[in-house]
Structure 1
Amino acid sequence: MKAQVRTLEGGIAKDIELPELFSEEYRPDLIKKAVMALQSTRRQAHGSHPYAGIRSSAVGWGSGRGSSHVPRIRNGSRAAKVPQAKGGREAHPPKVAKILIKEINQKEKQKAFRSAVAASVNAELIKGRGHNFDGPVPVVLEDKFESIDKTTDVISALTAAGVFHDIERAKESRKVRAGRGKMRGRRFKQRKSLLIVTSDSPLRAAGNLAGVDVVTVDQLNVEYLAPGMLAGRLTVWTESAITRLEGR
């Protein structure tokens, strides 16, 4: 498979041969499994206090009183401690000992990564994710793109490459989140747009563009390539990043 290396002005500099992993078969099942395994490592253990709901002096009355054998408070008949009583313990509370991390075989993880990379050059999958772009994929820019230090220059290069429409789409999608999440530091929701992959250092000038993720080849993982476990993210590569990807 070949790709065109584009200049910052939108012209075609040359053609390059893509590494073999761009021809990997599409495996959405492995991609989903790999993303879930990656996300599970960020989960925190949580559980209720061991004595929550049972800090009471309530005791049962025993048999012969015409009442159920639940613990009852002293000088009264109100039930306590049991799950069906007000203020009682929870029936099946979350346990700290629960295993939250999901495992994945090394070969499955590697194949999922290759499959997600291959999906990033499949125009049908990219359009299926809702991305907006003009021209062929993959989008490979010359290495001068990595040395840009102004956001306006990044916007000009992405516009010339025909992919800036997708950033505008993500910007328009920003809205206030429904529910309690907006009280917990997650006030806004916004669609993902471009993934920009460079060789050595992330392109900081593109960091504040709507929905854009900027990573190096070494930082690249399945979750960046398939947000929400849905592969086919519109990705912008540099020529050096493509070359370095062969070693992954």
Structure 2
Amino acid sequence: MKIAILDTEGKKAKEMTTSLFEEPIREDLIFKIIEAQRIKHPYRPKQYAGMDRSASGNVLHTRHDWKTDRGRGVSRFPKKTMWRRGTQFSWVGAIIPSVKGGRRAHPPHGEIKFRKINKKELHKAILSALTYVSSADEITKKYHSLENKKIEIKLPLVVEDKILKLKSKDFFKMLKDVLGNLYGIAVQKKSTRAGIGKMRGRRYRKNAGLLLVIGKEEKMKISGIDVVNANKLKIADLADGGARLTMFTEKAIKELEEFAK
């Protein structure tokens, strides 16, 4: 198929012929590999979280002993000493799940699970994902803001390597000219999460935005979009949760063609 290559002003500069986006779309393969990569990541709390203190075994239950809980009207929980002055001291419950700062009860064990993926299957899935992100219908399905809207630009988006030298202001101006009604989903937006998740390490929410695929030796540092080198491109970058709006540099296309052979 013939694809247009856009210049730094967003206008068609030349054309190139490629078979990179002609692989049939196999959603079953794409999502199978994304799921395999996801379950490979272990999930568990820190192994000794809530247990890194000397409390267990320090509590005596005998009479007439110093530091005993007999006759104090306190539980028989393991306790940690908070302060001590001579023979006086203060302690609080520790380690067990029902006290402040204790370990979790029955946490996930973080077993690493592997799902073997055949090399040919992985190769086919990557090519299928490239076709997936070049389909206007599939991109419309991913972004709910595009419902009942028609994508007016021709996909896939390929630009000259010169755009990597543009300043951020000029780059986003070019994006706005090229994408038109798609510009709203191309730029990442950060918002504060509603609810208690703010206190649990996920204070902000951020949309995916545009993915720019560049060559192996190319570099671009810019905020507002995601940039990935062609040799490090993963299926999850392209198609996690649906077809992502993606732009390629000319050099990245040539390197991906070498991979496709």
- Taking structure 2 as the reference length, the TM-score comes to 0.68
The 1:124/1:33 distance shift into structure 2, 3 A limit, reads: same
Q: Within 5 Å, give how 1:3-14 maps onto structure 2.
A: 3-14=3-14
Distance 2:208 2:256 in 1: 23
1:94-142 Cα deviation digits (max 9, x unpaired):
33xx533332313332222111111011110011111765411011111
1:27-52 Cα deviation digits (max 9, x unpaired):
22221222223234443454776xx8
The 1:183/1:79 distance shift into structure 2, 3 A limit, reads: closer
1:140 aligns with 2:154: no
Query: Contact 1:202–1:215 (CA<8 Å) still a contact in 2?
Result: no
What is the alpha-carbon root mean square deviation over aligned residues? 3.5
1:236 aligns with 2:251: no
Determine helix, strand or coil for the equivalent of 2:134: coil
Q: Which residue of 2 aligns with 1:208?
A: 223
Determine helix, strand or coil for the equivalent of 2:231: coil
The 1:222/1:172 distance shift into structure 2, 3 A limit, reads: closer
1:105 aligns with 2:120: no
In the alignment, residue 208 of structure 2 is paired with which amino acid? K
Distance 2:137 2:244 in 1: 11
In the alignment, residue 30 of structure 2 is paired with which amino acid? I
The 1:105/1:162 distance shift into structure 2, 3 A limit, reads: same
Distance 2:228 2:32 in 1: 22
In the alignment, residue 19 of structure 2 is paired with which amino acid? P
Shift of 1:173: 5.8
In the alignment, residue 257 of structure 2 is paired with which amino acid? E
Determine helix, strand or coil for the equivalent of 1:104: coil
Q: Which runs of 5+ in 1 are unaligned?
A: 58-73, 81-85
Q: Which residue of 2 aligns with 1:158?
A: 175
Q: Which residue of 2 aligns with 1:183?
A: 199
Q: Which residue of 2 aligns with 1:36?
A: 35
1:221 aligns with 2:234: yes
The 1:201/1:172 distance shift into structure 2, 3 A limit, reads: closer
The structure with the greater share of residues assigned to strand is 2
Total equivalences in the alignment: 219
Q: Which runs of 5+ in 2 are unaligned?
A: 60-69, 78-97
Distance 1:187 1:235 in 2: 27
Distance 1:36 1:91 in 2: 28
- Taking structure 1 as the reference length, the TM-score comes to 0.71
The 1:42/1:93 distance shift into structure 2, 3 A limit, reads: closer
Q: Which residue of 2 aligns with 1:67?
A: none
The 1:202/1:104 distance shift into structure 2, 3 A limit, reads: farther
1:139-164 Cα deviation digits (max 9, x unpaired):
11112112x2410111122123225x
The 1:202/1:182 distance shift into structure 2, 3 A limit, reads: farther
Query: Contact 2:44–2:108 (CA<8 Å) still a contact in 1?
Result: no
1:17 aligns with 2:17: yes
Determine helix, strand or coil for the equivalent of 1:33: helix
| Structure index of larger Rg | 2
